[in-house]
């Protein structure tokens, strides 16, 4: 299948003339490249005389929007950890799809506990437990600290759990109920000792 593309005149502040390269994706023309001849006054200001410059910028965000089903290019400028955490790939060959992030604020709680034995504890078991108990209001879980007691040799983990509801602002009291349930379940099922 041949990809349809077209060059269209465009405006960029530092090039004249300027063009965009667009490709046809799902019936819509999508910009993937902006380019042009660098304006002579810019080259002269930089001390480059009697030369011609070519500038271009790839529209990688447009490709990423298509690849990850991201609906709006402005999402890329978000500093929201709910968005950013979706793209911390463990396997770069796995195709991920964007999940809508709630407009409501996050509520973050940490939980620290002593491990029963470093040989028998697997962080993935805790991650699964948190998502099972916390359900859809758990947005992120991450190990943020590991401590080994110098005298006893016991190991402690601290996990950060980010809670957020898609349809309302969670109160700290609501989060605390779920957080306590996670602590109790981890104690019962994983034999950890909450600190």
- pLDDT score, position 68: 85
Average pLDDT value for residue range 4-30: 91
Question: Which position has the higher pLDDT, 92 or 24?
Answer: 24
The string of pLDDT tens digits covering residues 97-144 is 888 888 899 999 999 999 987 578 889 999 999 999 999 999 999 999
CATH architecture for residues 107-194: 2-Layer Sandwich (3.30)
**Helix, coil or strand: residue 32:** strand
- pLDDT score, position 80: 82
- pLDDT score, position 10: 94
Nearest 10 degrees: CA dihedral of 163, 66, 95, 162?
-10
- pLDDT score, position 183: 97
Average pLDDT value for residue range 182-188: 97
- pLDDT score, position 79: 84
> What global pTM score does this model have?
0.64
Q: Parse the chain into domains and list their residue ranges.
A: 5-58, 107-194
Per the DSSP assignment, residues forming a β-bridge with 112 are 158
- pLDDT score, position 83: 85
Q: Two tokens at 145?
A: 């600290």
DSSP the chain: -PPPEEEEEEEETTEEEEEEEEEEETTEEEEEEEEEEEPHHHHHHTT--S---EEEEE-HHHHHHHHHT---GGGGG---HHHHGGG--S-TTSPP---PPPSSPPEEEEEEEE-S-TTT--HHHHHHHHHHHHGGGEEEEEEEEEEE-TTT--EEEEEEEEE--SSSPPPHHHHHHHHHHHHHHHHHHH--EE-
In a 10 Å sphere around its CB, with 0-12 CB exposed, 13-18 middle and 19+ buried, how is residue 159 labelled?
buried
> Tokens 């590991």 sit at which residue?
146
The string of pLDDT tens digits covering residues 151-177 is 998 999 999 999 999 999 999 999 999
Per-residue confidence band for 2, with pLDDT thresholds at 50, 70 and 90: confident
User: How many angstroms separate the CA atoms of 139 and 99, rounded?
Assistant: 11
The string of pLDDT tens digits covering residues 36-86 is 999 999 999 999 988 999 999 988 888 888 888 888 888 888 888 888 888
Per-residue confidence band for 90, with pLDDT thresholds at 50, 70 and 90: confident
């Amino acid at each position: 299948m041949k990809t349809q593309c077209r060059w269209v005149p465009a405006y960029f502040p530092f090039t004249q003339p300027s063009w965009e390269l667009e490709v046809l994706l799902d019936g819509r023309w999508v910009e993937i490249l902006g380019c042009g001849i660098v304006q002579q006054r810019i080259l002269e200001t930089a001390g480059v005389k009697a030369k011609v410059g070519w500038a271009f910028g790839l529209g990688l965000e447009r490709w990423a929007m298509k690849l990850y089903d991201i609906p709006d290019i402005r999402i890329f400028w978000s500093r929201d950890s709910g968005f950013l955490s979706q793209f911390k790939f463990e396997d770069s060959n796995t195709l991920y799809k964007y999940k809508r992030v709630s407009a409501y604020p996050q509520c973050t709680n940490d939980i620290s506990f002593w491990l029963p034995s470093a040989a028998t504890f697997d962080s993935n078991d805790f991650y699964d437990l948190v998502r099972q108990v916390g359900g859809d209001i758990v947005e992120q879980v991450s190990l943020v600290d590991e401590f080994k007691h110098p005298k006893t040799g016991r190991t402690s983990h601290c996990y950060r759990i980010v809670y957020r509801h898609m349809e309302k602002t969670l109160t700290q009291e609501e989060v605390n109920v779920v957080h306590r349930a996670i602590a109790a379940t981890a104690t019962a099922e994983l034999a950890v000792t909450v600190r």
